[in-house]
Amino acid sequence: MTESLLTVQDLEISAGQRHLVHPTSFTIAAGERVGLIGESGSGKSLTSAAVMGLLPGELSARGQVKLSGTEGNLLTWSERRMARLRGRDLSMVFQEPMSALNPLMRVGEQVAEVMRIHRTANPAQAKARAVELLERVRLPDPRAAARAYPHQLSGGQRQRVMLAIAMANSPRLLICDEPTTALDVTVQAQVLDLIREAVVADGTGLLFITHDLAVVASVCERVMVMYRGRIVESGSCEQIFTDPQHEYTRGLLAASDLTATDDRGRLFTIASAARYRSHASGDGAMTDAEADAGSASRAAPVDLATGEPLIEVSELVKTYSRTRTSLFGRADRVEALRGISLSIPAGRRFGIVGESGSGKSTLLKILSGLEPPTTGSVQVGGVHVESATSAQLRSMREDLQIVFQDPFASLDPRMKVADIIAEPLVPMRVPERKRRERVAETLAAVGLEPESAHRFPHQFSGGQRQRISIARALVCRPRILVADEPVSALDVSVRAQVLNLLTDLVDEYQLTLVFVSHDLGVVRHLCSDVAVMKSGEIVETGDVESIYTNPQHPYTASLVAATPSLEDAFAAS
Amino acid sequence: MARYVIGRVLQFVLTAALASVVVFVLMQVLPGNAAQVALGTSATPEAVAALEAEYGLDRPRIVQYLSWIGGVLTGDFGTSYVTKAPISPVIFNSIQVTLIVVLASMALALAVAVPLGTAAAVLHNRPTGVIISGASQIGIAIPNFLAAIILVMVFSLGLGWFPSSGWQAPIEGFGGFLERLVLPVTALALVQAAILTRYVRSAVLEVMREDFLRTARAKGLPAGRALVRHGLRNAAIPVVTVAGVQLATLLIGAVVIEQVFVLPGMGTELVRAVSNRDLVTVQGIVMVLVVLVLLLNLIVDLLYSVLDPRVRRAA
Amino acid sequence: MTTRRSLDPTLDPTGSAELAGETVEPGAPGAIDPGAVDAAAKPRRRRLNASLVIGLILVGLVVVMALVSYVWTPYNPTEAMPEDRLQGASAAHWFGTDRYGRDTFTWIMFGSRITLLVGIVSVAIAMLIGVPLGIIAGMTNSGLLSGTIMRGNDLLLAFPALLLAIVFSAVYGPGTGPAMVALGIASIPGFARVARSGTLQVMSTEYVMAARAANRGTFAIATTHVLPNIAGMVIVQASVAFALAVLAEAGLSFLGLGTQAPAPSWGRMLQESQQFLGTRPELALWPGLFIAIAVLGFNLLGDGLRDRLDPKLRGRD
């Protein structure tokens, strides 16, 4: 590890007058796996783009980037000269697998192309090698995959293809920019394994960019923490996780840890991270007993389970008919839900966990009466949703409100915050003056300034918008709050705040919470019960701790194992 | 794929059938009495009745429609009430002129627009790109008949290089045919090229922002070659769509251009028939133009599915 | 479809702004997302939009000419001065005179009225019919009603504007009235398409789902969410359709099938100029120039408005 593969010195990236990355220096040794961690806007992606010479034209980079075995500063190289390096010595996997491949070119050709460009194989060899590479990234039926077009592959499969392209010429450095952020948890685990195996086998250096501390720990040996365009801390994984020096790192670590809570049972935020630090560095890792004790105190809602179930779903089936052809199977009818039954007593916090395509969003739409079920029955607060009159449906919806996933798409950009929040009150014929009072109350309850009412959504950050979304759901005082992945689009530090807010509000308003998420960790923190969904079925349901610690169904077990957690990261380091 | 083609062809047939009804209703039902229209308001009731009997206009509308559309399907567009001559030969002779002018213009326009539009996109923040972009914006604003008039002023009346009007069939002399084709084709193509340049530019700009072009560069293709190898075929998809729609516009634009250059095309025949209040002839020509427009849309859609594998599987 | 995580363009990892409830202004230092480099690199504040400004100036010029023509023109448009036939530009006749000795500048001023009238009426017809149809089609997506509307739209697309206008002039006789109606009907599909695709986009958003979950009725959703959010696209389409209508009317009048004598129209001026191309080419150039100015103005206005109003281009700030 003495020879450094990549040396970055005083790299500075700016857009006109604005500095996006302040002078930054780091090195990566040959074969070393380095993580670069930071939240959105920290400049981590720009740093990697600058190394590859792929910065957008409007941005300029200064400083030095040197690669062993080459002369001079890569930043000053011509596009043509850099191109000879890219794909051969340096290669890259991007965040968005859905758009990273040319939609009009067969996958095999796209893999073979990288070998033809650098003449590392003749056309016939390249074609054969492409199939081998697709096999190496464990695509089912690599021959068929080579003949497929990208749209015939799933996101995870496309990301494997990207990895095959990146590793085709055994590069010396692989840069991965959030390669698994858009993927499901179980797929993420497989792709992470693949990346680690590939770079270890070829002795390739790795620069791994992510926002997720737990992910970085499972892949890298060393971590650099980036914050507001600067690397604020770097060190071995162990050091960063057990003895973080910089305040931001400590905050990030505290907010990421969904198993650690303060004495009120709330997650640590950057603001309250100081207390967390002593806890983590005390013995290096949390014991199971501590974790259990923490969760016991969290998941102790007022026990109303003896009462009538507030939500009762039985034998729910939803079938969409549409034409969809995928490479590995053809389906004209999509069975989104195949006989779901569950019962949620009043006052519980019920988590629904599943990956994309599990049917959890469909279930939610049917619960809130936005879509009719194909067969089966849904009862919310005594109303049979599937056969309800519009008056019954109206009163049911006053009881059940939704918080959506995307804080940018769930607020009408043309409406003022006051009107957005007041919207549920309009059909209830609440008089204008009363509406304004309720908006003001609710704004205060979600921790927003009263003046926010007169602003437009684009003037708020993601976390603040999610607060607005929560305020809209609560303004008509529902009994049930349904949250559809409300924190999955948020940065970790903001996530902790929004989750704490939800916990507070559920307590304060005595809400029954239905919390849909792909993230078992978040559900474990927030919920008392959980149902695990897969392919339109509930594979397992029960109280959250026992499911997490002792999963009965193999899918649940694989989900638990695949969920990156800081505990495992602590244990590993 | 086969299902897509069959479905699309059926849709074409259905729309064309509906369009024929619309054309018939517009030309025969709405004006009230075609014989009256043809003869003018001063005609005696006896003359109108005689004309009606002669052309079967006293039959029920539905019978009239069926006999007309049956004729159209077998290539017989009926007889003009005004000239008393069969309409089909008029249409068959003029359609050749119009198609030659339109297709030649489209080819010329594409030959100009594709390189210019690509250059304008690649150089979008350089002076060259801005100039191309601005020039195309101005080009769009010039009506094609104004372009035609200016061309005549400069190259015919001014320089005397080309005749200002007239037509010669290719068999009567290819040189004369080409000579008379240059100005009308250029006039149509100039404006069309301006429109297409803008579409090519925005299609290429769009593609340049795509993630897969970044992937191509990450694989080791320099930016320019990445655009040629991966970008242009993707950019072609929206351009093909637009070019198809524009062909329809050109077809109608040719109506006006033919007037300027006195070409014996469908436009000239159409305007003559309109001025003569010869509704049967108008009806025939309009029907042919409408079917051509629909046919162009069909061809574009089929081409689209050849270019884009994602459409191929969508039934 | 493409899903984008890590959407947050505002940087606030400390959560300090979160806690203080302070709003993060777009364009504030640090409001940068590497995923939105493109947007970040461009100035976020609205800068002077050249297309919009030039478009407004050109359209303004035509509008002012039309308005002034109601109170003042150099000459009476129908006043023939045989002794002043086919003159070049002079102090008395800024743009010269035509074959009857009528003042060309006066005719250009009067012609702008017809141009604007045709544009306004045809765009109004197309917008009032096309937008509601498009919204209905979008909101009842994949229903029978929506299918009928879109098939009707396809049918109408088979009749290009100029062709429909020629048909109308054949049936109802040539004139400004039939021309306006024909151009209006032929422009319906453009508006219906824009309105439908915009509506589909809006209807698939979570804020509409939230509104439905909050018991808002279909009509309320159409007026409070759909219409305001597609208004920008509709206005852009109106500007483009206006330019097309101006072109089509000029073409129709050039064929002698549009505005009839003695009403002054730019298209007919061009047609009448044809026999004097060798001697008085400016007779063709003046009306040609003003047609081009009007069309360019509305096209640029459309482009400029698109940059400003299109939610897709506005980014998510």
Chain C: residue nearest B293 by CA? C158
Query: Region C182-208: what's the mean pLDDT?
Result: 92
What pLDDT is attached to residue B217? 92
Distance to chain A for C54, nearest Cα, Å = 26
Specify the CATH number for the domain of residue B142: 1.10.3720.10
CB contact under 8 A, B282 and C167: yes
Q: Is residue B215 part of a domain?
A: yes
Subunits adjacent to chain B (3 or more Cβ pairs under 8 Å): A, C
Closest partner residue to A269 among C15, C224, C229, by Cβ? C15
What pLDDT is attached to residue A176? 93
- Whether C32 has its CB under 8 Å from any CB of chain A: the answer is yes
Whether residues B66 and B113 fall in one domain: no
Last residue of a domain, one of B73, B105, B123: B73
What pLDDT is attached to residue A253? 84
Q: Is residue B99 part of a domain?
A: yes
Whether residues B97 and B32 fall in one domain: no
Q: Is residue B263 part of a domain?
A: yes
Last residue of a domain, one of B16, B47, B73: B73
In the predicted structure, residue C282 carries a pLDDT above the cut 90 = no
What pLDDT is attached to residue C7? 28
CB contact under 8 A, A100 and B212: yes
CB contact under 8 A, C7 and A408: yes
Lowest mean pLDDT among A147-151, A232-236, A445-449, C75-79: C75-79
CB contact under 8 A, B217 and A54: yes
Nearest to C283 by CA among C68, C115, C103, C118: C103
Q: Is residue B292 part of a domain?
A: no
| Structural domain range at position B134 | 88-275
Query: Region B15-28: what's the mean pLDDT?
Result: 89
- Whether C39 has its CB under 8 Å from any CB of chain A: the answer is no
Distance to chain C for A51, nearest Cα, Å = 15
What pLDDT is attached to residue A570? 65
Closest partner residue to B22 among C155, C161, C169, by Cβ? C155
Which of the pair, B46 or A376, is modelled with greater confidence? Answer: A376
Say if residues A269 and A254 touch (Cβ distance below 8 Å): yes
Lowest mean pLDDT among A285-299, A461-475, B48-62: A285-299
Q: Is residue B173 part of a domain?
A: yes
In chain B, residues with a C-beta closer than 8 Å to the C-beta of C157 are 293, 297
Residue ranges of B 195-224 with Cβ closer than 8 A to chain A = 210-212, 214-223
Whether residues B241 and B141 fall in one domain: yes
pLDDT, averaged across chain A: 85
Last residue of a domain, one of B43, B73, B103: B73
Subunits adjacent to chain C (3 or more Cβ pairs under 8 Å): A, B
Query: Region B194-208: what's the mean pLDDT?
Result: 90
Pick the residue of A48, A86, A102 with the most B CBs within 10 A to test the interface with B by mutation.
A102
Whether residues B42 and B95 fall in one domain: no
Pick the residue of A98, A458, A477 with the most C CBs within 10 A to test the interface with C by mutation.
A458
Residues facing residue A313 across a β-bridge: A342, A378
Say if residues B202 and B125 touch (Cβ distance below 8 Å): no
In chain B, residues with a C-beta closer than 8 Å to the C-beta of A115 are none
Whether residues B201 and B119 fall in one domain: yes
Residue ranges of A 432-451 with Cβ closer than 8 A to chain C = 447-449
Query: Region A459-485: what's the mean pLDDT?
Result: 90
Distance to chain C for A149, nearest Cα, Å = 15
Lowest mean pLDDT among A380-389, A437-446, B172-181, C297-306: B172-181
Distance to chain C for A123, nearest Cα, Å = 32
Measured between alpha carbons, how far is A209 from A28 in angstroms, rounded to an integer? 14
pLDDT, averaged across chain C: 77
Whether residues B132 and B176 fall in one domain: yes
In the predicted structure, residue A284 carries a pLDDT above the cut 80 = no
Q: Is residue B295 part of a domain?
A: no
Q: Is residue B293 part of a domain?
A: no
Within 13 A of B151's CA, how many CA atoms are on the CB side?
A: 26
What pLDDT is attached to residue B55? 74
Structural domain count of chain B: 2
Query: Region A514-543: what's the mean pLDDT?
Result: 90
Closest partner residue to C210 among A408, A410, A455, by Cβ? A410
In the predicted structure, residue C43 carries a pLDDT above the cut 90 = no
Whether residues B65 and B137 fall in one domain: no
Q: Is residue B300 part of a domain?
A: no
Distance to chain B for C2, nearest Cα, Å = 11
Whether residues B164 and B56 fall in one domain: no
Query: Which of the four pLDDT bands, split at 50, 70 and 90, describes residue A7?
Result: very high
Whether residues B59 and B17 fall in one domain: yes
Whether residues B171 and B43 fall in one domain: no
CB contact under 8 A, C160 and B251: yes
Whether residues B128 and B26 fall in one domain: no
Lowest mean pLDDT among A169-183, B144-158, B285-299, C301-315: C301-315
In the predicted structure, residue C33 carries a pLDDT above the cut 70 = no
In chain B, residues with a C-beta closer than 8 Å to the C-beta of C247 are 143
CB contact under 8 A, A101 and B212: yes
**Backbone φ and ψ of B182, nearest 5°:** -55, -55
**Cis-peptide into C311, omega within 30 deg:** no
Whether residues B29 and B101 fall in one domain: no
